[in-house]
Amino acid sequence: MLGGNALLGIRLNTFRARLLLWILLSTLTLLIVLTGVFYQYTAQQIDMRVGEAAQRNVSQAMDNFSLLARGYDSLTKSIMSNAEIQRLLSREEPTVMDEFNKQLLMMGALGTIYYSYNDVKSIHIISPVGNVYSYESTTHKINHSFMKSEWLKELRESDGSLVWGGMLGESSLTIREEQEDPVFTFGRVMTNLYTTRPLGILVIEADPRTFISSMNNLMIKPESRSYVYSASGSLLVTSHPDEEQAPVEFMDLDRFPFMEDATDASDKDRLIVTAMDPKRGWKLLSVTPKPVAKVEQAAANRYFVIVSVVIVIAAIVIAFLLSRSVSKPIKSIVQEMRRVERGDLSPQLHTRASYDEINYMNEHFNRMVSEINGLVERNKIATASEKNAQIHALQSQVNPHFLYNTLEMIYWLLDEQENEKLANLINSLSRMFRYSSDWRSSTAMLKEELEQIHYYMTIIGARSDGRIHVVHRVDEDLMDTLLPKMTLQPLIENAVIHGLSIKSGEGTITITASGEGQTVFIQIHDDGVGIPPEKLKELQLSLKRAERLEWSQLKEEERQSLSVEPAIYGESQGSGAGFLNVHRRLVLEYGAGYGLRIESEEQAGTTVTVMVPSIMSRA
């Protein structure tokens, strides 16, 4: 009986897991299919309804614009036919006082008309000689650049019909403050009613809020935009005056059909409705990004979502009850594994009355964690010891101890004998020995390394009769960068011995530094003889091998370095372990990704790049 129960339990384990999976997959698949079909259908229906409503709104807005334009046309005609204004503009005043009186009379005549229209901001008449007669509620300065504008030129050349300027912004006739609302500009040429002689230019600035209010009625969503263009294609007014101009794609009006009735010109990404006033040639363009009716779609889907949620909840409850006995012990194992991932090697799983497979996993997980814990502890000790031994071993190759005190005594004796050249050499050598033998700190700042290079090159300059020079271009911000001590001097020595000493003529070593992110790149470039391609490739491979060396291999590499490395550079001898040792020290100190990189071209020179982390001295 117990065996039968155990067998039944094993079968139930597999059945419950598969049942959970199939219930959830079938339910989700059905919901996804139904949701997709229902969403597609409702989206099409709602877009169609919204499109029809948008066309009606555009037609209504176009009618409002036409009515407004007729009112403005009537306004200009009433000003042109005003007998007092005709009389004043037809005569020329001989004196300044007469002209002043004329100004007052014109203001009175214009003011009478001004107060008959609520949305008119200002009325201006520009005479042929440049006099401006104006009436406005608030006085504004005249924008003299307007007199040279393209729109005014178009107005002067018109046949007397009304010319629409729209919202000219900074190019309008009057200069307005930033906090003031923009104005809608239009005008026409004024002529004598009897002789048809030009009397001036009539320019009217109106409040565009009537336009904008009608255009706001076209907004289906905050991203909607509407534009009104003149017959010539210039933008008159937009639903968002704060935006300087319409997007370039909406300036090419030939792409859209404009007819007297509102027309749907939508594409796959936008709902676009157009209309045109055939009498004035005005073109209205309304653009709304799709989807155009998220709220309506949400309302249509609400019932479907409620049903879907009920089905999903029921499926989850059933699946949970079936799978709980299986998932609980597995969750315990996952939680302990996450603790191990965070570095906590202390978790222990307790064996409970569960399935055989789960008990087997618990037991072997505990054993694995225990073994990993022991390995980590042993590895910490071994790694620390090995790294310290390697660093001290490598430093011993580039850290000779010299009797710099004796050298300083010789320097002072030579200085007393006024042998300045030899004294400088002895002083430089003493400074080098003092720097290289002081290992109270294994790191140095970049400026200290450059100072060491200066002393070294003083000696080299004496040997080469000043034929070899060093220049460095390093920003002050990088001078405090920390790097292992005696990093640059072996590289400069290699450049002098193998690159410049065998070159005829003068040679230059250039040191530059730059920071990129968390890494500082120090480049040492010489214009020497360079390295042959096959030997350069061998040296680059040697650098890569050095990053992977184990302690047991270091001794063999050190033994071969005196023969391998000089052969890579050329026939000269004496570079020793310097180059590879510097690379190993950087890798051991900072890890893979740091160290040396080398590039070279024969007869052009060699560039060695030192890569260290961006760590600055706090001193």
DSSP string, 268-323: SSEEEEEEE-TTT--EEEEEEESP--HHHHHHHHHHHHHHHHHHHHHHHHHHHHHH
Q: What is the pLDDT of residue 265?
A: 86
d(C-alpha 65, C-alpha 164), whole Å: 13
Q: So what's the pLDDT on residue 408?
A: 57
CA 610/CA 607 separation, integer angstroms: 10
Three-state secondary structure call for residue 332 = helix
Q: In a 3-state reduction of DSSP, which class is residue 237?
A: strand
Q: How many Å apart are CA 362 and CA 300, to the nearest integer?
A: 51
CB-facing half-sphere around the CA of 238: CA atoms within 13 A: 17
Q: What is the amino acid identity at position 306?
A: I
pLDDT score recorded for residue 564: 42
Give the integer Cα–Cα distance in Å for 489 and 368.
49
Residue 398 located in a structural domain: no
Instruction: Point out the domain boundary residue: 255, 273, 289.
Output: 289
Smallest Cα–Cα separation from 243: which of 214, 273, 212? 212
403-454, pLDDT tens digit by residue?
A: 555 555 565 656 666 666 676 777 777 777 777 766 677 788 999 889 888 8
Task: Tell me how far the alpha carbon of residue 321 is from its chain's centroid.
Answer: 49
CATH number, domain of 488, equals 3.30.565.10
484 part of a folded domain:
yes
Q: Estimate the crossing angle of helix 578-590 against helix 356-398, to 10 degrees.
A: 140
The CATH number that applies at residue 169 is 3.30.450.20
Query: Is 490 within 8 Å of 578 (Cβ atoms)?
Result: yes
Taking Cα atoms as reference points, which of 288, 282, 289, 286 lies closest to residue 274?
A: 286
C-alpha distances out from residue 429 to 127, 219, 426, Å: 91, 83, 5
Query: What does the alpha-carbon distance between residue 481 and residue 426 come to, in Å, rounded to a whole number?
Result: 29
pTM of structure: 0.45
SS3 401: coil
Tell the burial category of 110 from Cβ atoms under 10 Å away from its Cβ (0-12, 13-18, 19+). Answer: buried
Residues 6+ away with beta carbon under 8 Å from 356:
none
**Percentage of the residues of the chain whose pLDDT score is greater than 70:** 76
Domain of 206, in residue numbers: 67-289
Inter-residue contact 199 to 86 (CB < 8 Å):
yes
Q: Using CA atoms in the order 421, 427, 429, 432, what is the torsion angle rounded to 10 degrees? A: -140
- Residue 606 maps to a domain: yes
Separation CA 334–CA 361 (nearest Å): 11
Q: Which helix (H) or strand (E) holds 333?
A: helix 294-341
User: Residue 578 and residue 562: Cα distance in Å, rounded?
Assistant: 10
Q: Tell whether 339 is covered by a domain.
A: no
Contact status, residue 312 vs residue 31, Cβ threshold 8 Å: yes
Q: How far apart are CA 571 and CA 34, in angstroms?
A: 80
CA-to-CA separations, 588 to 139, 386, 482, 579, in angstroms, rounded: 79, 10, 15, 15
Q: Which of 527, 534, 524 is nearest to 489 (CA)?
A: 524
Of 37, 35, 46, 40, nearest to 294 (Cα)?
A: 46
Contact 302, 290 (CB under 8 A): no
> Domain count of the chain?
2
Residue 348 maps to a domain: no
Domain membership of residue 412 (yes or no) is no
Q: Residue with structure tokens 């897991």?
A: 17
Return the pLDDT at 34.
Answer: 78
Reduce the DSSP state of residue 231 to 3 states and report it: coil
Residue 94: strand, helix, or coil? coil
Give a yes or no: residue 538 inside a domain: yes
Bridge partner residues of 443 (DSSP)? 484
> Among 263, 289, 315, which residue terminates a domain?
289
CA–CA separation, 12 and 32 (whole Å) = 30
* Run of H or E including 58: helix 2-80
Of the residues 245, 268, 289, which one is the last residue of a structural domain?
Answer: 289
Q: Write out residues in the chain with pLDDT < 50, as ranges.
A: 1-11, 15, 382, 385, 389, 393, 396-402, 550-552, 554-555, 558, 561-576
pLDDT the model gives residue 559: 53
8 Å CB contact between 374 and 342:
no
Asked if residue 175 belongs to a domain, the reply is yes
